[in-house]
Amino acid sequence: MRKNIVAGNWKMNLNLQEGVALATALNEALKDKTVNCDVVIGTPFIHLASVVNAVDTTKIGVAAQNCADKASGAYTGEIAASMIASTGATYVILGHSERRAYYHETAEILKEKVLLALANGLTPIFCIGEVLEEREAEKHFEVVKSQIESSLFDLSAEDFGKIVLAYEPVWAIGTGKTATAAQAQEMHAFIRETLVAKYGKDVADNTSILYGGSCNASNAKELFSNPDVDGGLIGGASLGVDKFMPIIEAF
């Protein structure tokens, strides 16, 4: 059966020392606890190796927030999936709306990134979600379906089984506006039906679909209590143990 996952996305926050301190504190907080979900932290590239060393990776998975769409070579400033894997990180967040909007990541580019992540043994946390105008125009289902189809539906069922999805309505990211539990469940159920139609019930039932968008200690329990919401991708509230732990413990 699918896993519950609470994943933090630190974005471009915290210098190396601050990041290691946060990871160490989270590791300490989780040390003697049994929690009912997998915990992941998505750090800036330069933090990965140090954060991997600072935590018990059997309890905390470490994620990059992006990877290159090329395997290696003359791509100045890029970071390959193989390099991420070599740090001991095991996840990579791909297709975040900030990458799509500010760095012009297209469905085609994301397709390449997913393939490279999988080829290097990384679990992609693949983000999808509509902007406000699309929801207001009642195009949100269509948009999300097309984001999934265009970047992921050429994968075999076996490879698709390695993907974690994160539904992040863009209007809810960093805005303090959360989708209601009903809106989240409605979209997650739709996504799962889309997966059933393409890959069958087993693959769909085994796919973790996380919710992201201003998820915090006060709304996590309600969001996670929905049958198709298998956890969260957490931005702002992952930047402190005091804010992140209650979300983990919402399961």
Q: Which residues bind ligand PEP (CB under 6 A)?
A: 9, 168, 173-174, 212-215, 233-237
> Is 118 or 173 the residue whose CB approaches ligand PEP more closely?
173
Q: How many CB atoms lie within 10 A of CB 114?
A: 27
| CB of 11 vs ligand PEP, minimal distance in Å | 6
> Is 1 or 12 the residue whose CB approaches ligand PEP more closely?
12
| CB of 145 vs ligand PEP, minimal distance in Å | 20
Q: Which residue is nearest to ligand PEP (CB)?
A: 235
* 112 contacts 98 by C-beta, under 8 angstroms: no
* 86 contacts 100 by C-beta, under 8 angstroms: no
Catalytic residue, chosen from 47, 96, 140, 188, is 96
| CB of 74 vs ligand PEP, minimal distance in Å | 31
Buried b (16+ CB within 10 A) or exposed e, 180-206: ebebbbbbbebbbebbeebbeeebbee
Whether 188 is a known active-site residue: answer: no
> Is 9 or 147 the residue whose CB approaches ligand PEP more closely?
9
> Is 199 or 245 the residue whose CB approaches ligand PEP more closely?
245
| CB of 216 vs ligand PEP, minimal distance in Å | 7
DSSP 128: E
CA 233 to CA 214: how far, in whole Å? Answer: 9
Token pair recorded at residue 70 = 């090329």
> Is 17 or 175 the residue whose CB approaches ligand PEP more closely?
175
Whether 104 is a known active-site residue: answer: no
CA 3 to CA 97: how far, in whole Å? Answer: 24
| CB of 35 vs ligand PEP, minimal distance in Å | 19
* 157 contacts 224 by C-beta, under 8 angstroms: no
215 Cβ contact partners less than 8 Å away, ≥ 6 residues apart? 178, 223, 232, 233, 234, 237, 247
Q: Which residues are marked as active site?
A: 96, 168
